[in-house]
């Protein structure tokens, strides 16, 4: 059950990041004038979908607390790097973000690090 807590943390973290990016892209660029920036950000903050992204961060923290009851942090925390990999993949699929060799190599190193550290339980 401990791994379910880790993957729940990852799922809700990734959801929150993707939903924030999606809604912010739809809202447009941050205005130049300070007052307009504040209004823009407050409007985003009150958007129900944006709020679901913040709620997902809270739910992710609940899953993380549960995971901490099952694993040492030095073992569990590297799994959080999977959120980088998933956000990268979904950013390509959902937002048509570019793929570069540097990003692919970096993510491969992250995955390799997860594999190496997960062997130390």
CA dist 36 and 68 (Å) reads 42
The answer for residues whose C-beta is within 8 angstroms of residue 107's C-beta and 6 or more apart is 84, 85, 88
Which of 65, 61, 73 shows the shortest CA–CA distance to 16? 61
Distances (CA, A) of 67 to 1, 46, 80: 9, 31, 11
Distance of CA 94 to the CA centre of its chain: 14
CA dist 14 and 52 (Å) reads 12
Q: Is the pTM of this model over 0.75?
A: yes
The pLDDT value recorded for residue 67 is 97
pLDDT digits (tens, 9 = 90+) for 30-42: 999 999 999 999 9
For residue 118, pLDDT beyond 80: no
**DSSP state for residue 32 in the 8-state scheme:** S
Which of 78, 88, 70 shows the shortest CA–CA distance to 3? 70
Residue 71: phi, psi to the nearest 5? -135, 160
Q: How confident is residue 121, by pLDDT bands cut at 50, 70 and 90?
A: low
CA dist 16 and 18 (Å) reads 6
* Helix residue ranges, H only, 28-81: 34-45, 48-68, 73-76
């Amino acid at each position: 059950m401990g791994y379910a807590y880790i993957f729940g943390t990852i799922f809700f973290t990734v959801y929150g990041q993707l939903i924030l990016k999606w809604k912010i892209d739809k809202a447009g660029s941050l205005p130049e004038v300070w007052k307009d920036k504040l209004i823009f950000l407050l409007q985003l903050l009150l958007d129900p979908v944006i709020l679901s992204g913040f709620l997902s961060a809270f739910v992710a923290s609940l899953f993380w607390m549960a995971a901490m009851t099952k694993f040492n942090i030095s073992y569990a925390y590297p799994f959080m790097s999977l959120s980088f990999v998933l956000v990268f993949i979904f950013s390509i699929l959902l937002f048509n973000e570019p793929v570069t060799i540097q990003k692919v190599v970096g993510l491969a190193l992250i995955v390799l690090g997860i594999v190496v550290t997960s062997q130390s339980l």
